[in-house]
Amino acid sequence: MASDGYEQVEPNSPVDDPFHIVKERIQVSVRQLEADMATWRELLKRTNTNINAAFQRLTRSAKSQLKHLKANTRKLNATITAVESQRSRFPGIDDIELADRKQFVTQTRAVIDGYQKLLVDPATKAKKAEDRRKVAQLRGATMDTFASTDFTSGEFERTLAEQQQQQEEMEEKQDMVLDDMSTALQRLALTAEGIDCELAEHKE
């Protein structure tokens, strides 16, 4: 998803016009969502989503983020409606500024709609269904093997050791993904702190 239209802005509207404050929050949220969904896409393509904990956590997180973004976008649109219905109260907001605000809301809704569709896209559902099928087949094959084969004690231990090693390797890869996410979230937190400082300075 492109992030055009989400550049930083300087709040310069009246105290009773909260548009820019809400817009800043949405900008931060969109950047975080974009980073999370980039990781989500990679995990969707190269991992088994049925057993990948990072993918499952990101899916839940994305749904929650989209819910909050929709709520904030509704609030943002409400400020536009308020300005339109009381133009004399906001002399500093001309037609061009109002059009820019409407465009931002439209862009944000497009981002939300795009990611919501991606989460339930037929291709996404097909990949997840295929992953579930593979896991079911693997579990069935493993159970059949143990049931139909006379394992010696040593062979049984080696099999368990191999499975444990595979599990550890998978968890190590997941930890690397989570570390990358943590770094990205730290950068976003610093950005949010900077925005809060700017807002505080303008209020003073």
Whether 199 contacts 28, CB under 8 Å: no
Per-residue pLDDT reduced to its tens digit, 112-170: 999 999 999 999 999 999 989 988 887 665 555 544 444 444 554 455 446 545 655 66
**In the structure, what pLDDT confidence band is assigned to residue 13 with cuts at 50, 70 and 90?**
very low
Per-residue pLDDT reduced to its tens digit, 36-87: 999 999 999 999 999 899 999 999 999 999 999 999 999 999 989 989 998 8
Most confident of 5-19, 27-41, 85-99, 157-171: 27-41
pLDDT value at residue 135: 83
One-letter amino acid identity for 16?
Answer: D
Residues 6+ apart with CB under 8 A from 14: 90, 92
Q: How far is CA 117 from CA 3, 31, 62, 110, 127, in A?
A: 17, 18, 12, 10, 15
One-letter amino acid identity for 180?
Answer: D
- What does the CA dihedral 24, 104, 5, 14 come to, rounded to 10 degrees? -40
The pTM (predicted TM-score) of the whole model is: 0.61
> Which of 101, 97, 95 lies closest to 73, judged by CA?
101
One-letter amino acid identity for 75?
Answer: K
Tokens 């093997």 label which residue? 145
Buried/exposed code over 26-35 (b: 16+ C-beta within 10 A; e: otherwise): bbbbbbbbbb
Per-residue pLDDT reduced to its tens digit, 105-114: 999 999 999 9
Query: Residue range 166-185: average pLDDT?
Result: 67
Distance CA 137, CA 141 (A): 6
Distance CA 132, CA 71 (A): 33
Distance CA 82, CA 84 (A): 5
